Homo-oligomer: A and B are copies of this chain.
């Protein structure tokens, strides 16, 4: 599929935005782990290869979590070696604990990610531990990864709201971010897991993190489109100087509130905006859209990405 010229945004830069953004593509991990359909390993491998061919340079590949918790990604050991030919592409993998790290390192992973929570409730629900207990679990994992010279990303979920607690205090988010940095995390990803954030909230958190010694260049943003706010929040983050943005090809990844409709920010919607702003991403929107259309066929449901729907005339 090629993108019709008439349906591309006119390139008009805005002042004081970054010249280049690195998209951290999460579709193959965060997306597929939330899909009901089980995807064959060969399809996942083709998906990651197609994403790389579309120009994405950071593609989170899978998770070394126990198969009991995330059966969708139980094939991590089979999948990861099939990506070995992707030279020059960063392929981070999620590791929930020591065992996960060991599995990832045994396969030669050079980038890992840990998944922390900014709230007690989600730490309890997701990890069955208190917030401090969960951080204590990550501490040796992150340190061992750093000893092995492996790049570590620290996800911080529920940064902007929590379904049980409602508002999440800024100081709590900052505390978790600093703890992850102190362990040695090279970068953080601020997650709006339930999609409630608005731009002022984003800017305030970023400013507070800077004040507390966490520089913008180690911060990525991870917005969900549950309430349609992801791209506005991303724009605000770009204005603050953020240059790492998480997104999911085709908007893969459901959400408990509305099945198959409103999960992760779609990479295509993000690329459309960045392209219009003249911000380099290296991504070929036509190839990426074709990949998401193909993956939607594998999953048997249309992509929720507005850009994918518009460019592919998909219903």
Spell out A's residues near B (CB within 8 Å): 5-10, 12-14, 17, 160-168, 194-201, 203-204, 225-229, 231-232, 234-236, 255, 257-259, 261-262, 266, 269, 272-273, 275-278, 305-307, 309-310, 313-315
A22 to B147, alpha carbons, bound, how many Å? Answer: 56
**Contact flag A258-B227 (CB < 8 Å), given A9-B197, A9-B201:** no
**Closest residue on chain B to residue A307 by CB atoms:** B227
From B195, B231, B258, B314, contact of A258 by CB (8 A): B314
25 A-B pairs within 8 Å (CB atoms) are namely A6-B163, A6-B164, A6-B165, A7-B194, A9-B198, A9-B201, A10-B168, A12-B198, A12-B200, A14-B203, A198-B273, A199-B235, A200-B276, A200-B278, A226-B310, A228-B231, A228-B272, A228-B307, A229-B269, A229-B272, A229-B276, A231-B231, A232-B234, A257-B310, A261-B309
From residue A191, how far is it (CB to closest CB) to chain B in Å?
15
State the main secondary structure of chain A at its contact with B: loop
B199 A277 Cβ-Cβ under 8 A: yes
**Closest residue on chain B to residue A14 by CB atoms:** B200
Q: How many subunits of this chain does the assembly comprise? A: 2
Instruction: Point out which of A9, A13, A161, A228 has the most chain B C-beta atoms below 10 A from its C-beta.
Output: A228
A200 B277 Cβ-Cβ under 8 A: yes
Instruction: Point out which of A266, A276, A307 has the most chain B C-beta atoms below 10 A from its C-beta.
Output: A276
Residues of B within 8 A of A17 (CB): 200
A12 B309 Cβ-Cβ under 8 A: no
**Closest residue on chain B to residue A10 by CB atoms:** B167
Residues of B within 8 A of A196 (CB): 7-10, 276
Residues of B within 8 A of A266 (CB): 228
From B10, B197, B261, contact of A201 by CB (8 A): B10
A163 to B313, alpha carbons, bound, how many Å? Answer: 14
A278 to B315, alpha carbons, bound, how many Å? Answer: 36
A160 B231 Cβ-Cβ under 8 A: no
A14 B199 Cβ-Cβ under 8 A: yes
